[in-house]
Structure 1
Amino acid sequence: MSTARSPQTDRPTFPEGYGIPSTAEGLLRWDEVEPRLREAQHYWLSSVRPDGRPHSVPRWGVWLDGRFWYDGAPTTRHTRNVEANPAVTLTLESGTEVVIVEGESRATRAEADGLGGRLAQAFGKYADSGYSPGPDSWAGEDGGGLRVLTPHRVLAWFAFPTDCTRFTFDGGD
């Protein structure tokens, strides 16, 4: 399922000399970018420590309904970071076919008979790696450590600099 929130599309701002086109010709479409978020196996999540230092960690997760869903213990460094400052950046592994998601991470829950079932199905991509959460995995009082990243802005390019595209969602800057 695609995001219900349709992003605005334009060129990102780069310094002079990077060769970013000045026209909209060649901009990526969201339906070219979102499948990469859905199909990825590995993601990098960056947060900010309370003292201002950056922290990055590889994460498993799923892109569903226009958001990134992941789970983990509340004692992990990245969870403690986002509890204090929810601003995060999520990236895929490639440095040439780039997708960078900027947004906010919040704790949440998912009931087994609704979102929990859909999340469990999406997390099925990790079954061969030994991770198969059930539909009720995120229904408890603490939500099973479930978090959701809501995007504000996504930067993407697959043929730099000609297709550099910024997607801005409602509430993003």
Structure 2
Amino acid sequence: MTDTVKEPIATRNLSRDGSEELPWSRPRDILAADTPGEDLTFFVATVRPDGRPHTAGVGAIWADDALYFVGGPGTRRSRNLAQNPACSVSVRLRGIDLTLEGDAHQVTDAETLERIAAVYRSGGWPARVEDGGFNASFMAPSAGPAPWHLYRLTLHKAYGVACAEPYGATAWDF
């Protein structure tokens, strides 16, 4: 994919205690290793049409050097993203709290849907591609009827605060 993020274009050390900048590879490698196998809850924050925030816990995965997550077409998250793709996603990883900011867009191409469904299946969620989205034998009760949309986050900024050695706090711009 041409818009896949590989490395940040700028990095800022946010640490006030003299800690070194954290490399982007630290959270990126943990995301790649721990999704979808570990029990991680990602929180997606979107903007309602009236400007108020909305946050929801989702299952997300890191694949193709990008973050993917699912939303039922009638959910507040999906309706918000249809109006305004700007969002943030937060997660506590092993040793580092991470917030990702960017734009989330619905994925509809069959090749990507099949590839990402396979990644979800490897983690235990039996996703299958159907009608331009996903279906499965189970989903969050609030998701509504399938097919569920797949979103890909185009990353603009990320913030990491390490809660294990080496400590530090860093902002990455993409």
Q: Partners in 2 of 1:49 and 1:12 — Cα distance?
A: 32
Cα deviation, residue 110, structure 1: 3.4
Q: Which amino acid aligns with 1:44?
A: F
Cα deviation, residue 153, structure 1: 0.5
The aligned residue for residue 70 of structure 2 is 71
Q: Identity, % of aligned pairs?
A: 24
1:6-155 aligned at under 5 Å gives the runs 6-11=7-12, 19=16, 21=18, 26-38=20-32, 39-40=34-35, 41-93=40-92, 97-111=96-110, 114-127=111-124, 131-134=125-128, 136-137=129-130, 139=132, 144-155=148-159
Cα deviation, residue 159, structure 1: 4.3
Using the size of structure 2 for normalisation, the TM-score is 0.73
Cα distance 1:11–1:122, how it changes in 2: closer, same or farther (>3 A)?
A: same
Residue 46 of structure 1 contacts residue 55 of structure 1 at CA under 8 Å; is this kept in 2? yes
The aligned residue for residue 156 of structure 1 is 160
Q: Which amino acid aligns with 2:160?
A: A
Cα distance 1:52–1:139, how it changes in 2: closer, same or farther (>3 A)?
A: closer
What is the aligned-residue RMSD (CA, Å)?
2.9
Residue ranges of structure 1 left out of the alignment (5+ in a row): none
Residue 110 of structure 1 contacts residue 138 of structure 1 at CA under 8 Å; is this kept in 2? no
- Helix, strand or coil at the partner of 2:153: strand
Q: Partners in 2 of 1:159 and 1:148 — Cα distance?
A: 27
The aligned residue for residue 142 of structure 2 is none
Residue 101 of structure 2 contacts residue 158 of structure 2 at CA under 8 Å; is this kept in 1? yes
Residue 72 of structure 2 contacts residue 149 of structure 2 at CA under 8 Å; is this kept in 1? yes
**Superimposed CA distance per residue, residues 26-65 of structure 1 (whole angstroms, 9 cap, x where no aligned partner):** 2111221112333253200001111111110000121112
Pair 1:167 & 2:166 matched: no
Cα deviation, residue 66, structure 1: 2.4
Residue 108 of structure 2 contacts residue 132 of structure 2 at CA under 8 Å; is this kept in 1? yes
Residue 6 of structure 2 contacts residue 65 of structure 2 at CA under 8 Å; is this kept in 1? yes
**Superimposed CA distance per residue, residues 110-166 of structure 1 (whole angstroms, 9 cap, x where no aligned partner):** 31xx32332123213541xxx2113x34746x9841111111001112149952111
